[in-house]
Every structure is written in C-alpha cells, then in structure tokens.
A and B are shown apart, each in its own frame.
Chain A
Amino acid sequence: MTQAKRYHPLVLVFQLKNLIRNMIIIGVYLFVFNAGSDDAFYTYARYIFLGIFALIALSYVYKWFTHTYKLDTGAFQLYKGLFAKSRRTVPFSKIQNVQRHTSWLHRLFGMTSITFETNMEDHDDSVTFRAVPPAEADRLEDVVKQHEAETETGEAEADAAEGDAETEPSAPPAKTVHFRPGTKDHIKASFLSLSFFALIPVIISLVSNVDSTDTFNRVMESGFVSALIDAWWKITLIVVLFAAAAVIFGAVKTILQYGRYEIASDDERIYITKGFFQTSSFSVQKSRVQAVEYRQPPINRWLGMTEMRLISAGGANAAGGTENITSLYPYMSTARAAGLIEEILPVFSITDAMTPLPRRSLFVRLVRPSWVWLIATGLLFYFEPSPFDIYIPWWILSAVLLVLVILSRLLDFAHTRYAVHNECIQWRKGGWTTFLFVTKREKVSEMTFKRGILQKPAGLSTMVTINRSNPVKHTDIDDIPVDSARDMKDWYSRRTGDILTE
C-alpha cells in the first residue's frame, strides 16, 4: 500500500445523509410550512437555502477528490488539498481506542464506519472512515492491533508492522466473552428503561377523563355504586393495557439497544459490541484504560444495579453515533459488575475496605454555604412564582429546597468513602446518584490538594486527581482528613516506581 488511496465513494452518501439531517428542519420550514407564501423573504430564503445546500454538497465532492490516506510503517498518513497540500501523520502508537458504528444506511450498502481515536495535542486528531467495507475496516483495525502487539513485545518498529494488505495478521488471540445479557437482564432492563414512565401522564389524563365526564353522567343517571364499579372496571382495563404497552415498548427498545450486547476481551484488548439493527462496537487496549467509574442512580442502587464506565484517553463518541459506548451494560447487578472488572481488568479491582469520613467532615459540610440555595431563595423572593396557579409562599419553597440540600449533604456524607490500596486509589461519593471511581497511580497524571477556610481549622483537605481523557478528567473528593491526604501524597510520590520511561 505505497499509493495513497481515496476514501470509499459511498462516503459521499453518508455525508449527504448527515447534511440532510442537519438542514431538514429549516428545509421543511421553508418549503412545506411556508410553501404557499409569496413573501419576498421566503422566496429569497429558499434560494439561499438551496445555494448553501449545493455548496456544501459540492465541497464534499471536492474533499472526496482531494483527501487521500495511506498506511505506512506505524502510522496513518492523511493527505489533503489540491494546490496547497498538507499531510497529517497519526502514529498507531497514539491511538487510544477504536470504534465502529453500523447504521441502517451502512447496513443497506453493506458498509460500516470506523474511527481511530487518539489523544494528541492538536484538536482534529482522530482518524475517521465514514464508510468502508467491513473487510477493509477489519484490515485497518488489524494493522493497528498488529503494531500494538509488536511494540508490546519490544520488537524493532522498523521491520515490523509493514502494514501491507498482503501481510495476514497472525491468528488473533482467542476472545473470551464475559458478559451477554440473558432473558432476565432483558426483562429487568425493559422495566427500568425510562420509556416506561413516559406513559404515566397519558394514563393519568385518560383516567381523569373517564372519571370526570363518563362517571359523572352515570352517577347522575343511574345508581351510584354500579356506575363506580363500571368506571373502575374501565380504569383498570386501561391501566393494565397501558402498563402492558409500556413494558412491550420498553422491551422492544431494550432489545434494539442491548439485544446483541457483548463484553469480550483477549489478552490485549476489551471489546464491547451492542445494537440489533444499528450496531456499534468499541475496543480499547487494556493498558490504555485510565480509570473505571461506577455510577448508581437511586433506582439502580435500590435494585442493586450498577452502571460501569471505562475512561480512556481518546474521545468516546463513535462517528455519527450519539450513544456513548464506553459505558458498559447499565443494568448489571453490582456483584456481577465487580466480578467483571476482576476478570477483564484485574488491575482496577476494587476493595470493600474503605474508610468513611470523620464526623467533623459532616459538620463542615453542613456549615458550608449552599450557593444553589442562596441564589434560588433570592430568585424566589424576588419573583414569587406560583407554579400551576397554586399559590405557595416563597419561603415554603425555599425551606423545601433547604431540606433537600441538607438531605443530599447527609446522604453524600454517608456515601463517601475512600481507600488507597497497592497501586490503586478509589473513592465513592454523591448524594442521590453515587459514583465510585478507581484509578491507578501511574494513570494519575497530576494531583492537587486544597484546603479552604472552613477545612483548615477542622484539619480537612480536598484531593483532586487529573487523568488523561478527552476532555481532561478532574475527579475530586472533599473533606478527607489531612492525615489521609498526607498518606495520599506519599502514595503518589512512589509513582516513579510504576512507570516505564522512554
């Protein structure tokens, strides 16, 4: 592959699709809603709209002609420009993760899209192929993987990773599938997906309809009891039907999203695949995972479920896909999640022996002024809103908010725990939704300790870790004792022993 290639011509189709998607609202507004309008404004606007559309579409064609790519030893070479040419080199060693997304349109053409995410200093740094035949995508991914494997084993880069189409990658190491949701998981997910709740207002409005008109008339006409029973029968039927519809709706949605969900890994990498018709996949080298984050919204916590997220240094959104695939199956039981991390990323294993905060932290937290409450109270006092035409004095709303703030702080205090074990540091925090964050010493690229005016006399400190991610990930824990902060500093100072230097 010494010759630089153009991207696949079907790229144009996908760009056109995106363009249409972005401009369709304006288009419909101009051409459908105001179709009959002879107003000069709309006439000109239509021409301008068409002009812009054509220009952008043409620019895509121009780009297709002038943009080419090539794989050489250890890097992507991306060329562009007709007269002023530019070349961008993206070394394979900078690639943080690989994402694939196959939309229904890709499926129609037998194509897929693939993105190689990097974390280089310049902004426009990922390598995206909007449309490639799956075989070509496999080949690209293999070349990158091959390179990783070879640099890993310490072979000279020069003679390795030629990246030729002819070089068949050595037999890929066996993948182990760690997690595939079963029927039980699907059922749980269907009940939990929020679409279920979206139907509640519909039910309420229907019920109140039945109640107000029908029942009322009947009560007037015939016997009270029979009418009530009649109405209740109807109401029950409607509720049951809607509950069934909601669950089916949720189930279909879940199956479309998580139907073929799979978490797999081999020695080197972690693979996540999801989607039924539209599929997305994500793969990251294990050693490039920066941190693991567990998130538990209240409902999930009550049901013992956890959402897990792998933090890696590259960007996290697949081309054209809005779904964030770095978050693992969100309806996994907490025990299963912990076990899974044990299997795929043993270095990030979590310990249960965590230290809670001392009582003086709670005191400091309760005393600390709540800006949200102060500002909200100011606004309430000034505007005296009456939502839904119900008059509530402003100070009652303010008091309710204060109670919520205090409750959230109490919960946060009760949830907050931290531990430093071996090379890992982990902590949990959060009031309503809790987060548990685990990272390794070598992945923490900087640490900051802060002591505010309230924390100093109480002997407390705030700790912040900075991890490489996109955007840079700052994670903090408030109000830990200074002694623990000192231990963390010492722990961090032994970092030098963990890292390899070039």
Chain B
Amino acid sequence: MESSLQQPERRLSKKAVRVWVITSILEQFINIAVLGVLYYLDQRFSWPDWVNWILIGLVVLIVLSAVWSIFISPWLTYRHWRYDVNDEFLQLKRGAIREVHHIVPMTKIQSIATKQGPFLRKYGLLTLTIKTLNSEHEIPALPEDTAIDVRNLIARYAKIKEVEE
C-alpha cells in the first residue's frame, strides 16, 4: 500500500537563528544582572561562606548555559527542525540530540493560533500553535506569509472532523 507519509521537509525561517540568539543573549543578561545583585548583597552584608560557593557554582552554570544557548542551540535547533502538512497529517520533527517526530491526523486538530513577540515581529516571523484534544504543538518562527499559508492550509484540512466515537 502507498504510504501518504513522506519525511517532513519544510524548514523554519533562517532568521529564526538570529531571533533565538538575541533572546538568549537577553536572558543571559538578566541572569547576570540577578547574580550581580546577589553578589553585591553578599559583599555588603557579608553572608556566610557557603553562599559564596553557591554563587560561584551559579556563575559556572550561567557561563555554560550561555555558551550552549547562544552559540550552539539556535543552529542545532534550526538544522534539525522539519515540518510538513498534507491533507491527512501534520508532521513535526525536531531535536538534534533527542529526535522527536510527531504525527498528528488533521481531523484531530481543534484549533490553530499565531503568536508574535517583539523580536519575531522585528524579523517578520510568526509562531504557530496547534491544539488537539489531547496535546499542543508549536511550529516556531515561520516567515509571516508562510505562517499564514500554513495556518490557512491546516484550517482548511482540519475543518473535516471525524465522527467521534
């Protein structure tokens, strides 16, 4: 029998990498700021010794997570994210280290929404949120017009509901 499932091929916008890098940098700045305040308080009120050690541990953690989330993760995520829509199934595939492949029948999709934060807007990108009765999925950072197309496509295919038994 012919399978209607091809490996998903469509990719996210290349600009997504930039958005993720920027948001990661911002997050790390916030982390550093919080840590800075803690360090200041530590010095000012001479907190016990073990607090110092915890702070040093946090610095190491922040450095590691900054390296990962600014220099590695965005590229890997972009490289490995694939999705596809046909009249029967929505497919989402992602993950460099741990690959996850979702297969969602169109008839089970209940709603679909678009979402746009300030950085996504700056680069003309949209995130799609797809809900079924049992789960929720996201396609992050699609170019605006593609996102609208995909949304309309899913909306059209998903209009057909199966008889729920």
Contacts and interface: CB of A to CB of B under 8 A. Distances in A.
B162 A472 contact: no
B4 A448 contact: no
B163 A449 contact: no
A445 B161 CA distance: 12
Contacts of B43: none
Given A287-B165, A500-B163, A445 B98 contact: no
B163 A502 contact: yes
8 tightest A-B CB contacts, nearest first:
A493-B5, A490-B3, A500-B163, A499-B162, A449-B101, A451-B99, A472-B134, A287-B165
A501 B134 contact: no
Contacts of B108: 445-446
A64 to B, nearest CB: 34
Given A466-B134, A495-B88, 9 more contacts: A446-B108, A447-B103, A448-B100, A448-B102, A450-B98, A490-B1, A490-B3, A495-B105, A499-B162
B44 to A, nearest CB: 34
Contacts of A445: 105, 108, 132-134
B99 A501 contact: no
A445 B165 CA distance: 12
Interface in B107-165: 107-108, 110, 132-135, 160-163, 165
A496 interface: yes
Contact of A501 (B1, B4, B103, B107): B107
A453 B97 contact: yes
Nearest to A500: B163
Contacts, number: 81
A501 B98 contact: no
> Interface majority SS on A: helix, strand, loop or mixed?
mixed
Interface of A: 121, 285, 287-288, 442, 445-453, 456, 466, 468, 472, 489-490, 492-496, 499-502
Given A288-B165, A500-B162, A446 B102 contact: yes
B4 A452 contact: no
Contacts of B133: 121, 445, 468
Given A446-B132, A501-B162, A453 B105 contact: no
A490 B5 contact: yes
Given A287-B165, A446-B104, A468-B134, A501 B160 contact: yes
Contacts of A453: 97-98
B103 A492 contact: yes
B81 interface: no
B78 interface: no
Contacts of A494: 1, 3-4
B22 to A, nearest CB: 29
Contacts of B105: 445-446, 495-496
B160 A493 contact: no
28 contacts: A288-B165, A442-B162, A445-B132, A446-B102, A446-B132, A446-B134, A446-B135, A448-B100, A448-B102, A450-B98, A451-B99, A452-B97, A452-B98, A453-B98, A472-B134, A490-B5, A492-B103, A493-B3, A493-B4, A493-B5, A495-B88, A495-B105, A499-B163, A500-B162, A500-B163, A501-B107, A501-B160, A502-B161
Interface of B: 1, 3-5, 88-89, 97-105, 107-108, 110, 132-135, 160-163, 165
A499 B89 CA distance: 14
Contact of A448 (B5, B103, B160): B103
Contacts of A472: 134-135
Interface centre among B98, B104, B163, B165 (most CB of A within 10 A): B165
Contacts of B1: 490, 494
Contacts of B165: 285, 287-288
Contacts of B3: 489-490, 493-494
A446 B5 CA distance: 14
Contacts of A450: 98-101
A185 to B, nearest CB: 33
Contacts of B88: 493, 495-496
Nearest to A492: B103
A35 B43 CA distance: 56
Given A446-B104, A493-B89, A451 B98 contact: yes
A460 to B, nearest CB: 12
B49 to A, nearest CB: 21
Nearest to A450: B100
Interface centre among B5, B89, B103, B104 (most CB of A within 10 A): B103
A450 B98 CA distance: 7
Nearest to A474: B134
A354 B134 CA distance: 29
B25 to A, nearest CB: 27
A446 B161 contact: no
B162 A448 contact: no
Given A445-B132, A496-B4, A501 B161 contact: yes
Nearest to A286: B165
